[in-house]
Amino acid sequence: MMDEDTSNSVRRMSTRTRRVAPKMVAALASNDNRTQAVLARLEALENDNPGLETVQVNDDSDASLDDDDEQVFQKKQSKSTKRKTRQAKALENAKKAPRTFHELLHEANLESLPRHVPTYLRAAVGPPSSVARRHFCTVCGFSSNYTCVRCGTRFCSTRCQNIHNDTRCLKFVA
């Protein structure tokens, strides 16, 4: 039988060496990192292009200008008449680059407002009243009774455990 993951730290680990970088082992053992992984996963749910590794930010600013060549030409002309320092250019670029939601939220500094003012942060529902959480097998989706001792994800049977070990164990990024 598998133990609950709370007893995980007390458990004696086998001496078998695992093919995981030592840093990673230390990171995975702490409960905190598991929550970090969960948060990263939730963050990924809001991502538009999860399949892609890199998102090129300045990619389409050129493409959108292709629409009307005249405008581009005019802009180029006006740019050439003014001389800009490198610093000014950098500042302008920084202004232009789209910022993430978290940056904007941080910038709005909503924490500084008095308590009675309803804001984005205070409108969040907050934690559920019942702590009981249903667990579903990450492999097949049915209710799961067991937890992986290494990474804390859930599975329901030996079959699913094997699939989990082969594919997803310790790979927090899906």
- Binding stretches for other proteins (CB under 8 A): 38, 41-42, 44-52, 55, 60-61, 63-64, 66, 96, 98-101, 104-105, 107-108, 116, 118-120, 123-129, 133-136, 138-143, 167-168, 174
Considering the complex, state which of residue 85 and residue 109 has its C-beta at the smaller distance from other proteins. 109
Amino acid at 61: S
Q: Give the nearer residue to other proteins in terms of CB position, either 10 or 117.
A: 117
> Closest approach of Cβ 168 to other proteins, in Å?
8
Amino acid at 172: F
Sign of CA dihedral 150, 37, 51, 19: negative
- Write the CA distances from 5 to 37, 74, 135, 158, integer angstroms: 15, 64, 13, 17
* Spatial separation of the C-alpha atoms in residues 85 and 127, rounded to whole Å: 50
For residues 42 and 173, is the Cβ–Cβ distance under 8 A? no
Nearest distance in Å: CB 44, other proteins: 7
Beta carbon nearer to other proteins, 81 or 100: 100
CB of 22 to other proteins, least distance (A): 27
Least distance between other proteins and beta carbon 89 (Å): 17
Looking at beta carbons only, is 54 or 78 nearer to other proteins? 54
C-alpha dist (Å) from residue 154 to 13, 18, 39, 40, 93: 19, 20, 16, 17, 45
Residue 2 φ then ψ, to 5°: -90, 140
CB-nearer residue toward other proteins: 21 or 131: 131
Cα atoms in the Cβ-side hemisphere of radius 13 Å centred on 142? 6
Smallest distance from other proteins to CB 17, Å:
28
